[in-house]
Amino acid sequence: MWAQVQPNSTQALEQQARLARVQGGEAGLDKAAAAYDRLLELDPLAVGVYRQKAELEQQRGNYEGAANYLRLYLEERPTSAAAHRQLAAVYQAAGELDKAEAALEDAVILADDPLESELGLARLDAAQGEYTEARRRLAAQLTDDLTPERRVDVLSAQLEMAVILGQIRQALELNEEIIELSKSFVPPISRLVSIESRTPTLLALLGRYDEAIARADEITRQLQPPFSSFMNFTYTEIYAETGDRDAFREQYPDLFGGFIAMETAQIALWDGEPDAAIREIERARDILDTSMLKLLGGNLSTSSVYVTLAELYLQAGAVEEAREVLENLLKIFPSYGLAKLTLARVEMARGNPEAARQLLTAALATWSAADAGYIHRQEAETLLMGLK
């Protein structure tokens, strides 16, 4: 309505585009694109819109289009470290990891504060299996002069690394430190939902399910609706591991279409309705593939969403679709042990035990220093023993 009343209001158009991108889907992205085009009509010199259009095209999965918009921006603002970081994210999403690394190295040189670019390089090292270098780079950033916010950024990257390596006890310790530091600048509700809720999820990765539920209950008691709904995702993740189907159904979430579709698919599979499950998986994939999640490819932890998607495909008997999702993920994150474990199960379903063996061996190499109770390492060891 605001844009209709004031069609030349740049503020209205910017807000319209932002909300349309949050909405996602082709209709939402088309609406956002039209708003950005109108902004450029009103002010052809507003080159900052090129970065927003680049994000939009990345969200759409059009990585070449996103890179082209960023190149246009960099012609006008060649020293923008933020634009170089954004270009690196586009290259990584497209699986062009060498170009991503070069763009991040440019950003390190250009930035007044190179921390964000260094964290990007560390995550990129990890994605390629260079974990020693990644950890060295992160440790070098933990200087005494960091603000609590910046220290949390570094610790969060270290936490991601620990989870990927199956070192869950270390991840729990890091999360406790993050919780304490964040108390000085993160509002209590946001801290509970976005930070403290990681603790029960991590406990579940060690098979400590009773502790995980108790911790989730403790967090939920401190929240009020609608914020308590966010904890539904934590509960369903735990109940999916324990196989408690009744508890899973009771926690059926009220938020976020893509995640709802995945959980609807899981229930359909338990009900013996694979066709209905595949329809929901496809719906989830369509939503996720045009969501803001597409902009978080450099964040190692977001990759697990696509592993879950592939796992659901596999359970539904859509083996080739599961394989496609995982192979696309491994182009972005070649060393991802959890993706390799799931792809090994796909190859077993396809009748390729040798390919499965190689994938399991690679996953276990990543998890060579993982905690003994790490559930995915245990699963990989069991599957590999069964192939011998």
pLDDT at 298: 63
CB 32 within 8 A of CB 49: no
DSSP string computed for 249-269: HHT---S-HHHHHHHHHHHHH
pLDDT at 294: 66
Residue 143 tokens read as 């200087």
For residue 65, the one-letter residue type is: G
C-alpha closest to that of 261 among 269, 69, 74:
269
CB 237 within 8 A of CB 283: no
Which distant-in-sequence residues (6+ apart) come within 8 Å of 30 by Cβ? none
Which distant-in-sequence residues (6+ apart) come within 8 Å of 365 by Cβ? none
Instruction: Write the pLDDT tens digit of every residue in 202-258.
Output: 999 999 999 999 999 999 999 988 788 889 889 999 999 999 999 988 775 555 566
State the CB neighbour count (10 A cutoff) for residue 185: 12
pLDDT at 153: 96
**Distance (Å, rounded) from C-alpha 215 to C-alpha 374?**
19
pLDDT at 352: 96
**Distance (Å, rounded) from C-alpha 231 to C-alpha 167?**
24
Report, as ranges of residue numbers, the positions in the chain whose pLDDT lies below 70. 252-258, 292-298
CB 120 within 8 A of CB 298: yes
pTM: 0.88
Instruction: Write the pLDDT tens digit of every residue in 358-387.
Output: 999 999 999 999 999 999 999 999 999 999
